[in-house]
Structure 1
């Protein structure tokens, strides 16, 4: 029998976190039936409620319409799925329409008060909040190095988020001298019980020294101070074990299905 608290957390996640808050900077959110889609981002983005409420041929038409919408714009699009979504054949139908699954991540939830324990940074490493364009470009360069692909779009994305909601977007860097060795951000949404842990990437040579854990603890303290009871994160295979040891709990998995022109 499943743990009831996990069921309750997943229900709260479904109720509060299925929508999208546009980062600003000309990005807009539209709806198409049960779906929410983002236009004007670095690539298109589609999400929906747990149960889309459409089946069979009607669902195929809905999927094709999103694909064709972004095709007309010459853009790739990510359709964000969760393992407990309905209908159960959604991912099969996405695949049939040309969408390709990327790496799955684990959706983890934890209590901010429980995660706010003190964590010690290594000697010579300092943590600070950043808002300026030069710092955001340094973060984007670090993320590009970590992931081995071009993340230059991230600087503009974070800048738009900060401009659009400065009190709800907290971007942090850990620096060793002039080098950004880790970056992460905390995103609040008005009227919900969750704050999102995003980023959390560390240069390979700086891993295993407690920097990532310190980033989590600092953001947990900020959330707890604002009275937000829960933190959530879409965790990669590398991050999930660390976060689970810190006390976050898995509520589902999420897999992006991507169509590219």
Structure 2
């Protein structure tokens, strides 16, 4: 894989030319910034900023004013190759709080396994309606505990909206052990780009290490191949990164969410 070429495509297609990931949100090109603004349960934040040391502070302040006026918490999605080099320090000085960094990993769909291998007693259930979305939220809660319950509820609202209004932009699935949801994952499509994004995959503690996460990757890789996407992209935690690298994903950048709460 040509790292520089793929990184340039990633920046251009997913950040500078970003499309909304929710029917209720809009992507705005406001001066030097590409940002998304939506409802409270939507992702609100900055995708891209064409700034330097002389303009960064003013642009940061303008985003704070914009989202604060709407009463929205928002995220500046900082990448390790973004400029200026001290942008992280400037965001902290403006009141942003960093969350744990994740590694942006990319793989060519053609190089990935596409046949899911599941442990005995586990099946994959496609999510197509409100009952499936509730199973996703339940799986998120068993995977992450009470700390993840609020996120699970917000995610459920967003997924249900996408399934209802723009079903061609999303595939979601729940891993079921009998009648119990033990993991869930989704894939979001960016029409007109080479990339499909993988999200989720957190698994209930007693089911970890049994291949469910890898099976969810293979399931989604098959669908991405059928739809003609070239790359799968993941913002990977330290837990999932080793699994993904063994499957053939390679690091592209490191992304850190800087969150501002009005």
Task: Tell me the TM-score normalised to structure 2 length.
Answer: 0.91
Q: Which residue of 1 aligns with 2:256?
A: 255
Q: Which residue of 1 aligns with 2:53?
A: 55
Residue 70 (1) aligns with residue 67 (2): yes
Q: 1:155 and 1:225 mapped to 2: Cα distance?
A: 26
Q: 1:9 and 1:81 mapped to 2: Cα distance?
A: 18
Q: How does 1:116-195 map to 2 (within 5 A)?
A: 116-147=113-144, 148-149=147-148, 150-151=150-151, 152-195=153-196
Q: Which residue of 1 aligns with 2:7?
A: 10
Unmatched tracts of structure 1, length 5 or more: none
Q: Secondary structure at the match of 1:106?
A: strand
Larger mean Cα displacement after TM superposition, 131-140 or 111-120: 111-120
Q: How does 1:227-246 map to 2 (within 5 A)?
A: 227-246=228-247
Contact 1:27 1:41 (C-alpha < 8 Å) held by counterparts? no
CA offset at residue 54 of structure 1? 4.0
Contact 1:111 1:229 (C-alpha < 8 Å) held by counterparts? yes
Q: 1:70 and 1:145 mapped to 2: Cα distance?
A: 32
Contact 1:20 1:36 (C-alpha < 8 Å) held by counterparts? no
Q: Secondary structure at the match of 1:167?
A: helix
Q: Which residue of 1 aligns with 2:26?
A: 28
Unmatched tracts of structure 2, length 5 or more: none
Q: 1:11 and 1:76 mapped to 2: Cα distance?
A: 29
Q: Which residue of 1 aligns with 2:44?
A: 44
Q: 2:46 and 2:161 mapped to 1: Cα distance?
A: 20
Aligned counterpart for 2:97 among listed residues 95, 100, 111: 100
* CA deviation profile, 1:41-74 (whole Å, cap 9, x unmatched): 425312215xx13432x32111111112222233
